[in-house]
A and B are shown apart, each in its own frame.
Chain A
Amino acid sequence: MNAHRLRRWLNRLGLYLSVGFLVSPALLFFLWMASLALKNELDNTAYPPVFIPSEPTLANFVDVFEKNDFLTYTINSVIVSFTATGLALLLGVPAGYGIAKSKATKAAALILIARVTPGLSYLIPLFLLFQWLGLIGTLTPLIITHLVITVPIVVWVMIGFFEGLPGELEEAALVDGATIWQAFLHVAMPLARPGITVAMILSFIFSWNNFIFGVVLAGRSTRTLPVAVYNVLTFEQISWGPLAAAALIVTAPVLLLTLLMQKEIVAGLTAGGVKGG
């Protein structure tokens, strides 16, 4: 019996050591990121490195907003990600329903093409198209290209979700004389609300994170946050505090969303293996 308990204890120890080993790179990375952003320049250029700020300061964040037009870029990012997500829900939720109901698995496979194609390959023709239309320098090209990311995510998550719903309630509604549109709107949609939440969060995050479309299509005043933060790197050699602060500003909304909605996010990612770009 003792040997058995020893073995159990060793298993437990191995498990905790493994988890510690696997989680620490992520944990230490984000702690170091916060540390860089909260330290003054003296601490940041010290060697050996200072881990806990001697005098924590928010000066780096103030600096980022003063020297760059980060407020504009934040507004740009919000407009682009919210619009692209909203449009994707408007298009993608009914599409997911239609594909799930008509069992068009081939149509679902077509969506995979969007997942397989490198984002960069859409950009050459779309760049020319937007140039001809005179749209370069506005937010419209960014919103349109972000649909390449958001629509497939929403459709994919919603197909899985609607397939998992029992069909009886809608059929009862149809028998009672509802149109298929009414059955969708008043029966299926309310049931699918958790799925819509998952689709919305994922599509927002991957649109927010997108860099490649902005780097090609955004002008000086239409940069999204990831592009803006990259420009901080290239034009302001090299002040670590503000740089880390800028990086933290960009990614903080996503990190917070992940921490708050981790259950939904894990469910969505597990089902779909979705990723943007």
Chain B
Amino acid sequence: MSTTTLSRPRSGNAPSGKAYARRYWIFAMPAAAVVLLVILFPWIFTLYMSVHDWKVTGATPFVGFDNYARMLADERFLWSIVRTLWFTAASVIAPLLLGVWAAVCFAENFKLRGIARTVFILPMMATPVAISLVWTMMFHPQLGVLNYILTLVGLPPSTWVYDANTVIPTLVMVETWQWTPLVMLIVLGGIASLPQDPYEAAILDGASNWQMFRHITLPLVWPFIMVATVIRLIDALKTFDTIYVITLGGPGSASETLNIMLYQTAFAYYDLGYGSAIVVVFFLLILAISMLLLRVRQREDLR
């Protein structure tokens, strides 16, 4: 989520003092209780289960770090990490490039801008299962509309999600189609907050559009792009609905990402102990990658 809210300057007009501020804690209590129950309890319980051999029925003996050790030797798990990272890298970069481009376009005034922007954000609002079904029909090798379009423009038909080599790029395409709008919205928010004077000066100096983008817009909205990158990264790592509906990890296990593998382990094989250990590692992976990016950003701020 955006860091803009967190770093917003504090208004100085409220009565200050810690005691005064503390009175307002009561408002957050009910929500805090629910969050504790629905979010913290599962976390503690997950940690507990991850050191037990826990199937749905039968005894649940303590096994120490066996579940974690098992991961290191589990090729299916290791491959799912490789696939997740490759899927994630592509699903961050493509929406970022297109999203920044879209934001620059939507920052201009033009006819039908409102309706064009609304249509543009429909993919991220639409129910993921519903759009996944329609994509699945479009990918059909013989009757699908996408292969028809390819042959229309003289390209050979693609195997889309039906071949191990093309399945991940195809899923990245769906992810890009779906989530470019979120990047666009965040960056557009950044562009809207920019001062106008540098542009006016640049126009007087005869700068080209590209020069203005490269030397004014890009550096100034860079923090927003970083926020969008972190959000995109987290979401791409967690992608579930579209992959589950379109391929269920297939063909074979060619698109089995970590989240899909986790689902299969926990809710198809009911190996809850091992599943919990995977959850813990998954969460640490997400946390580590997000931290790394934030660190990179901080270092750039220092320059």
Task: Give A residues with C-beta under 8 Å from B.
Answer: 11-12, 15-16, 18-19, 22-23, 25-27, 29-30, 32-33, 36, 45, 47-49, 90-92, 94-95, 97-99, 101-105, 107-129, 144-145, 147-148, 151, 155-156, 159-160, 163, 166-168, 171, 180, 184, 205, 208-209, 211-212, 215-216, 225-227, 229-230, 233, 240, 243-244, 246-248, 250-251, 254-255, 257-259, 262, 265-266, 269-275, 277
| Contact A163 B8, beta carbon cutoff 8 Å | yes
> Is B98 among interface residues, defined by CB-CB distance under 8 A?
yes
Given A29-B123, A258-B125, is A101 in contact with B143 using a C-beta cutoff of 8 Å? no
Given A94-B27, A226-B127, A262-B121, is A49 in contact with B287 using a C-beta cutoff of 8 Å? no
Return chain A residues, CB-CB under 8 Å to B177: 25-26, 29
List B residues 280-303 near A (Cβ within 8 Å): 282-283, 286-287, 290
CB distance from B111 to the nearest CB of A (A): 9
Return chain A residues, CB-CB under 8 Å to B143: 45, 47, 49
> Is B182 among interface residues, defined by CB-CB distance under 8 A?
yes
CB distance from B161 to the nearest CB of A (A): 14
Of B28, B120, B126, which contacts A107 at CB under 8 A?
B28
Q: How many Å lie between the Cα of A104 and that of B116 in the bound state?
A: 39
Return chain A residues, CB-CB under 8 Å to B126: 30, 209, 251, 254-255
> Is B82 among interface residues, defined by CB-CB distance under 8 A?
no
CB distance from B125 to the nearest CB of A (A): 5
Of the listed stretches B38-46, B61-69, B85-93, chain A binds B38-46
Q: How many Å lie between the Cα of A26 and that of B279 in the bound state?
A: 34
**CB-based nearest A residue for B28:** A98
**CB-based nearest A residue for B9:** A163
Task: Give B residues with C-beta under 8 Å from A.
Answer: 1-2, 4-6, 8, 10-11, 13-15, 21-32, 34-35, 38-39, 41-42, 45-46, 49, 56, 98, 101-102, 105-106, 108, 110, 114, 116-131, 133-134, 136-138, 142-143, 145, 148, 177, 180, 182, 185-186, 188-189, 209, 227-228, 231, 234-235, 237-238, 240-241, 244-245, 259, 262-263, 266-267, 272, 275-276, 279, 282-283, 286-287, 290
Q: How many Å lie between the Cα of A176 and that of B102 in the bound state?
A: 51
| Contact A125 B128, beta carbon cutoff 8 Å | no
Return chain B residues, CB-CB under 8 Å to A227: 129
CB distance from B266 to the nearest CB of A (A): 5
Interface residues of B, dominant DSSP: helix
5 A/B residue pairs, CB under 8 Å, sorted by A: A90-B30, A120-B240, A168-B13, A244-B134, A254-B125
| Contact B279 A273, beta carbon cutoff 8 Å | no
| Contact A95 B105, beta carbon cutoff 8 Å | no
Of listed A23, A122, A147, A180, residue having the most chain B CB within 10 A: A23
Of B31, B45, B137, B185, which contacts A91 at CB under 8 A?
B31
| Contact B42 A125, beta carbon cutoff 8 Å | yes
CB distance from B158 to the nearest CB of A (A): 16
Given A102-B22, A124-B275, A262-B117, is A255 in contact with B188 using a C-beta cutoff of 8 Å? no
Return chain B residues, CB-CB under 8 Å to A259: 118
| Contact B209 A247, beta carbon cutoff 8 Å | no
| Contact A270 B148, beta carbon cutoff 8 Å | no
| Contact B130 A22, beta carbon cutoff 8 Å | no
Return chain A residues, CB-CB under 8 Å to B245: 211, 230, 233
CB distance from A113 to the nearest CB of B (A): 7
Q: How many Å lie between the Cα of A95 and that of B35 in the bound state?
A: 11
**CB-based nearest A residue for B151:** A48
CB distance from B189 to the nearest CB of A (A): 4
| Contact A258 B39, beta carbon cutoff 8 Å | no
| Contact B23 A125, beta carbon cutoff 8 Å | no
| Contact B142 A47, beta carbon cutoff 8 Å | yes
**CB-based nearest B residue for A17:** B105
